């Protein structure tokens, strides 16, 4: 393993703590029935605690799978390239990636907002006074929340990239870029393709796309891996190996 610490370990630990702590809180009313009324506040406390505990358990199972997948994807024999960057080179990538991701997320937000408004108005006219206002308010009320998420995600990635000079590791079945693990061979995921192209300010990038299942359907992810100066020939070899591995 070329990476000293699996980036999914932190999520595994946090999920386990949520599962264990809230699971323990859930049984407290049963252990102290003489002090906590099970038919009053005790029942509500147990329900909330067990719900939070189950959420932690589901998250724990998910991140354990991610942890094991990371170990498998980045075994030494499957590594295609490992790249590091100078501060100036990484800062240039960080700024351009931030602009690109903002444009993508904001464009998606505007599309979803427009659809939400149309659906909300349609709901209002369809149901009229019988709940039409409620449907319109709920649907339109989601727009600020979606907008906040569209703003937050690019900024979180930007702050992370600014805090740590990047590291990229590319394997046949996934990529690791600055503490983020992209697994395009996970269950239900499909690899959409990879290309090597000149990006902005003369910087080359290896761009990989994959789709993964979510609660609302398949979600497409685009991973832009900056090619360090002097590594262009190696990037071409990596491109060929990735395409061959996905046949």
Contacts of 213 (CB under 8 A, 6+ apart): 188, 189, 219
Q: What pTM does this model have?
A: 0.69
Run of H or E including 220? strand 217-226
Residue 1 is predicted with a pLDDT of 45
The whole-angstrom separation of Cα 127 and Cα 135 is 9
Q: How far apart, in Å, are the Cα atoms of 197 and each of 27, 46, 180, 200, 244?
A: 57, 55, 22, 10, 18
Q: Write b or e for each residue in 161-177: b if 16 or more Cβ atoms lie within 10 A of its Cβ, otherwise e.
A: beeeebbbbbbbbbbbb
Contacts of 132 (CB under 8 A, 6+ apart): 123, 124, 125, 126
Of the chain, the end-to-end C-alpha distance in Å amounts to 25
Q: Which two tokens stand for residue 103?
A: 């444009």
Per-residue pLDDT of the chain (247 residues; tens, 9 = 90+): 445 577 778 888 888 998 888 888 777 666 655 555 555 555 566 677 788 888 888 888 888 888 888 877 777 677 899 898 888 889 888 888 899 889 988 888 888 888 888 877 877 777 666 666 766 777 777 888 888 888 988 898 899 888 887 789 898 888 988 878 888 888 888 888 999 988 877 788 999 999 988 766 788 888 999 999 889 999 999 999 998 877 6
Q: Report residue 148: phi and psi, to 5°.
A: -65, -40
The whole-angstrom separation of Cα 109 and Cα 113 is 6
Residue 196 is predicted with a pLDDT of 93
Asked if 193 and 208 touch (Cβ cutoff 8 Å), the reply is yes
Residue 37 is predicted with a pLDDT of 53
Q: How many Cα atoms sit within 13 Å of 120 on the Cβ side?
A: 16
Q: Which two tokens stand for residue 105?
A: 């997320």
The whole-angstrom separation of Cα 148 and Cα 160 is 18
The whole-angstrom separation of Cα 161 and Cα 168 is 12
The whole-angstrom separation of Cα 168 and Cα 234 is 13
Run of H or E including 21? helix 9-31
Residue 28 is predicted with a pLDDT of 67
The whole-angstrom separation of Cα 152 and Cα 97 is 15
């Amino acid at each position: 393993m070329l990476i000293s610490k699996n980036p999914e370990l932190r999520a595994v630990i946090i999920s386990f703590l949520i599962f264990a702590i809230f699971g323990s809180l859930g049984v407290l009313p049963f252990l102290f029935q003489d002090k906590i009324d099970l038919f009053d506040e005790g029942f509500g406390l147990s329900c909330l605690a067990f719900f939070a505990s189950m959420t932690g358990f589901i998250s724990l199972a998910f991140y354990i799978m991610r942890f094991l997948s990371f170990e498998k994807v980045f075994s030494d024999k499957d590594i295609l390239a490992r790249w590091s960057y100078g501060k100036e080179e990484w800062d240039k990538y960080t700024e351009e990636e931030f602009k690109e991701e903002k444009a993508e997320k904001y464009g998606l937000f505007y599309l979803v907002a427009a659809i939400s408004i149309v659906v909300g108005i349609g709901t209002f006219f369809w149901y009229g006074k019988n709940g039409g206002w409620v449907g319109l308010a709920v649907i339109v009320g989601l727009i600020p929340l979606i907008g906040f998420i569209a703003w937050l995600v690019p900024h979180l990635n930007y702050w992370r990239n600014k805090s740590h000079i990047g590291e990229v590791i590319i394997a046949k079945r996934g990529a690791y870029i600055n503490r983020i693990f992209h697994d395009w061979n996970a269950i239900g995921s499909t690899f959409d393709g990879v290309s090597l192209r000149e990006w902005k300010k003369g910087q080359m990038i290896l761009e990989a796309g994959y789709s993964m299942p979510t609660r609302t359907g398949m979600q497409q992810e685009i991973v832009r891996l900056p090619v360090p100066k002097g590594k262009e020939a190696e990037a071409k070899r990596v491109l060929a190996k990735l395409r061959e591995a996905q046949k």
